[in-house]
Amino acid sequence: MNATDTFVPFELKRKKGKLLVDRETPVPDVKIISAVARAQYWHDLLDAGIFKSVVEIARAEGLMPTTVGRLLRLARLAPDIVEQFMRGCQPRRLTLLWLMRNDIPPLWPDQRQMFERFR
């Protein structure tokens, strides 16, 4: 596996000769994971000085600056929360839209507390 590979954990089960996805296996929300990865990438570009502002990123990506700003907040998520998303253990009611429309606390313990309220 190299740096560009994506691993999505799920199990296939055979029933009467048909392959079925095991419904008990957690399924990652690809939209959330993609948004977090994009936010971390943009954050790295800002840190490296490749882009000077959110407006420059928005212009390059063809997005509104507010959208980029809202997505960039995801780069501040605690690593263990991102890991939960990758494993598919995100709260079922949590959506990318919710993450973009609501403030995310800057402190990791507060973030954990916020996400626990979804469970």
pLDDT band at 7 (very low <50, low <70, confident <90, very high): low
Query: What pLDDT digit, counting tens, does each position of 54-93 carry?
Result: 999 999 999 999 999 999 999 999 999 999 999 999 888 8
* Confidence check: pLDDT of 6 > 70: no
Question: Tell me: the pLDDT tens digits for 10-43?
Answer: 666 777 877 776 666 778 999 999 999 999 999 9
- The residue extents of the domains of the chain are 26-104
Q: What is the pLDDT of residues 84-114, one digit of tens each?
A: 999 999 888 899 999 999 999 999 999 999 9
Sign of the C-alpha dihedral, residues 102, 105, 106, 111?
A: negative
Residue burial 42-71, b: 16+ Cβ < 10 Å; e: rest: bbeebeeeebeebeebbeeeeeeeeebebb
Q: Which of 114, 74, 113 is nearest to 97 (CA)?
A: 74
Q: Would you say the pTM of this structure is higher than 0.95? A: no
Between the alpha carbon of residue 59 and those of residues 54, 101, 111, the distances in Å are 9, 21, 30
